Structures are given as C-alpha cells and as structure tokens.
Structure 1
C-alpha cells in the first residue's frame, strides 16, 4: 500500500511563493520540488482564494493564528492605520512633502483617505502636490540620493550615514549629516549591524541515548539513517532558527522548519516534514546532538510514536554529527554569508530557495560523485 505524501503548511506557502513572487513557472517549480504539477496549481489557487485560512495543519489552526485571523477581520481599519504609521515611522515629525511622498509611494497599498487621516494631512493638499512641479530642493535631493546610494553600495553595504556623508563632501557637494541620514532612511539603506553572539542554550544536556550512528555516515538505502540539527540566522528583526533533517543515503534535506523561537516544536516540525515527505519509513535511525530540544520529552515521545530509533552525539563532539554540520556550513558559505536580511521572511525565503531549488535538485555533491541529491536518488532507484 502506497502512503500518501503530506506537506506542512510552511512548505506549501513557500512553494506558492516560488510561482507568485519569484516568477518560476509552475511546471518548473513542480519539478524542482518533486511534486505533481496539478497539486502545485491547486495550492496556488487555494492561497489566492483565502490567504488567511489556506493550508491548515491537520485541519486545525494554531490558537494564536486563529486569534490573529479573528482580529484581522474585526480590526481591519485599525490594523491598516497601524501599518501606515509603522511603515512611515517618524513621518509625523516631517514636513508635508515627505508625507505626501510616502503617500504617493504607498497609495496602491492603502486608501489615500486612510493615509491622510493617519498622517494628519488633507486629501486636496495631496492631490495638489501630485501635479505641482518639484522644488529645487527636491531636485537636489534626487541627485544627492543617487550619490548616497552609490557610496553605500560601494562600501558593500557597510557604511553608516557618517561615512556616506564624508564621501558626499569629498565629491564637493554641500549637505548636512542629518540630510544624509534622512535620504538613507527614505531609501531603506541600513548599514550591516555588528555581529552578535549566538544565543546560549541553557537547557540541561544529559545524554539519554547512545551514539548508535558512531560516525558511520554512509547508508545502503534511503530512509535508513537521518541526521538532524538546527542553526541560527541573524536578521534585522532578530534571530531566525532553522532546523533540518538530512538523509545520509543521498545527502538530501528531507525535512526542515524555520521559526523565530528555539523550541522543541522547531525540531519536531522538521522531523514530521521528513516523515510525511518520505512516506513514514520503518527501521529508521535518527541522529542529533544532545541539545535540549532533542532531549525534550516532546521530541522523544514523537520518536517513539513514529517507531524511530534515537541516536545522539557525545557531549562536545561536533564530529559525531559532521554530515549535518557540513550542510549548514555549505549553506552559510554559499548563500547566507553573502546576504544581509532585513526581515525573517526574507531569510526564510532565501533558505527555502537554497534547499528546495538549489541544494536538493541542482547542487553537485562531492560525496555523491558530483551529482545532486535528487539526481543521485533517481539514478540509484531507477
């Protein structure tokens, strides 16, 4: 009996984004993700029809998500006003030209009348501003903005306003530091933040399982040995935690999950995605480190329910899980280290793109004879 494949809501949402936001053809995206083309079309259609309630996990939304959905319906106007003020942070202190510029840029998102009320300006004044010729200062700002951006990009996006200001002065242009700060803010040019230390795992780290894997990182067939771990990605909104499950047979990432918090649910979601995608495998070994998320009763109970044997690295021995460490190292070197993420959503999309459209289907893996994990599985199982 063939077990029907299941996909998490997280996987479906990111799959649809490939088509709707990244412009990938449905047929190509379906091949990259190893799913049926008609299934992906149905996901796109369902999300378009009802974005709030599409793809409920297990038929039930989480309580917090249900509450958010209820508040969205009841407080649509208040939420839009809040978003306007949040997006235009500081605009209430600015002149009408800055406010009108913000409104002109975002009138396709929010109603003009609503923005006028939130920013305390008149509709007639805004429409008059639209047809008014730009002032000399506005023209100068347009020229300055170009040089500000060139300086910022030329520094590999590391310069703050003060260094950009000195670049502008060296060009012989006259302007103040605060003007540069404002022009950078209007273009969302933000210097790369100083790297922060990784969060500290303060959970008890007592071994509850032997190292059954014992660094035997080869498997004779799929779904015999899985290794798992999670890592951290810094964004301007805070940390994004990424958990992954790797099949040692093909080095394919068979499950993953991304959350803003470091909990046992993070690693449990990654495991369940792997179980669903691989059809509830039997006689499976799951190996991880002794992190509190993996030693938690929640995760251990999940392993028992799925009939999965637990294996854990020795304390302080990163080489006991080197295959998983190698994947995260590759992802950070090839993708993450070259990016500065302004939001968790941006980082999530990039990690999803790396795993599902590059690493699994296309990236040549030295351990596999320089073919991709998907190609290796297709060749070996043909």
Structure 2
C-alpha cells in the first residue's frame, strides 16, 4: 500500500490558481510535485463548491456525516456562514422575477456576472443547477432550438394579450402544442395570467365556537324560531358604512338592523339588543366572523337564552337568506337607480326606507304573494 502524501495548503492553493489560469494539469503536477491528478481534481472540486475549509483538513481526515466542516475558531465559522449567506443573497437578488424553472440564458448571464466574486459551482448550487448543465448550456448558447422558438412565440402571444389569458386560452390560440407544454413554458418564464390573484388558504384552525345547527334548513313553523344574521358593506357614501341585520327565517322579515361606520363587537351587539322577547329554543345563525365569535357577543347571546349556530368558513350558502336579502337591497335601490356615490345621510335614508318597504309592502311569492308582516299577522 502506497504512503499517503500530505500537501501544504499553500501548494493546494497554488495548484488551484495555476489551473484557473489554464495551466495544463501535467505541467502543474510536475512543477508542484503532485503525484496524482485525482488529488488536483478533488481540490478544484472543493474550490468550485465553496468548500475551501477542506483544503486545511489532514490527510485521510473525513468530516463526520451531518456535522459539517470543523473550524479553527468560532470566528472562522461565523465568517464562513456569513460569506455563504451573502452569496445566496447576491444570487437570489439577480434571479428574482423568473419563473419556477431556471432558464438557461438567465443562468449563463448570472454566472458571467458573478464568477469573479464566487466559484461557478457555488453559483450553480444556489440556483439548483448542475455545473455540467451550465457548461453544456454555455457551449450551445448561440444555437437557437425549436423549443426556444416555440417558447418565444408563446411569450409573444402572452404579451400581445397583456397577460390577461391563462395557459388554457393561450393553448387554444397556439394550436399544435398540448396544454401542458404551454403551461410549463408560461411557468418557466413567469408569463402566467396576472388578472386574478391566487387566493391562498389561511393557515391555522378556524375559530370554532358553535356547531351548524341550522344545516341549511330554512323552514320554520313559527315566528322567531330561527334567525339569521350577517354584515354587509355599504360603499356608496362619503365613507365606508356597514349594515348589520337579523332576519326571521319564518317570513323573511328584518327584525333588527343597525347602520354604522365600524364593524366591531358593539356594532353587532346593538343589533342583537333590538330583538324582542324570544321563544325558548330560538336559534341564531351566523358565520364565524370575529365579531360573532367574540366573548362579549357570545355572552350576550347566552344571556338572551338564544342557541348559537355557525357556518363553516367559506360556506356563504349556509346563511343564504340574509345573504340574499343584502343582495336584493343593493340591487333594488343603489344599483337600480345608478347611485354609486352620495352622502352618508342619503345612504342611511335609502336603506331604512327600503327595509320598511321590504317588511310591510314588498310581496314575496313564497309567502303567498304577501309581505313578511302580512304573512306573520295572518299566521298568528
């Protein structure tokens, strides 16, 4: 078995400098008395990967797997970590804005800009690209492939429509290419539709306070047996306003309402306190808004002897009677009369007059062509 030779750090660095200067391997080995060209390749590999510390390790010394390099001092360790983080920041500053897949032309441009301040292998590692892939791309940089021509045509089509179309519409216009190919090209270059922003689910557990006792059963045998409540926006005045209302499922009557400038707990408590005396077992249904899940509101509901019911998050259909009323109110007043900007006093007057009209005059087919109050009085 041959004797292992230990080379000083200075020799290793000199060999690396000579190779970076394009000095042939054979000449480097002869000049520095290096026995095996494999060692020289290994040193170059460490240098390109930013593992300069490995040049200081003793012969045959292998770092424990998972523990990383050993440093002479804590200062040296912090300096190495700081250098690594700076390199990452520098790379991602330049690569920011491209799609999910790294584009060869962008990689070549980045490496050319950064190769004077950090090794090529380190840049490729930050980008998640193999060093051999980079050299292959650079070698064929002047050759325009059919794939690049196709991608450019897809890009021109996206720009032509000002990024209003998603990959399905673009693929319908760009015939002869499958939908997935168009999708990959658009993701690669960041050409996706920019009209509708993706809605992301909020993390964490929902504020579960009460079960859904109503379960979309909007039938009632007597008044005030089942109530539904919600808040809607009134963006028609000088400032944003809100309407909190409570509807009786039995006849669709609005039994309580409040108009305010702030949707806080006091706002919904004011609506709740307008309710008349309620029969035993009355159910009040709402969504899981913060005002309805608040301690003060839940306490007030229990004090009135009401059983609380709540929808799951993201299911407005569970509260459809009150949602429909709010939609009807806006459609038959502000939208019908083309009122999109007026005074706050005018908004309050329109809403209050409509609720009076809705309860007393406006007939509903499901109530045998009677108004809510007429239906309730006849039922009594």
After TM superposition, is the score higher than 0.5?
Answer: no
Report which of the two structures shows the higher radius of gyration computed on alpha carbons. 2
Bigger helix fraction: 1
TM-score (norm 2): 0.45
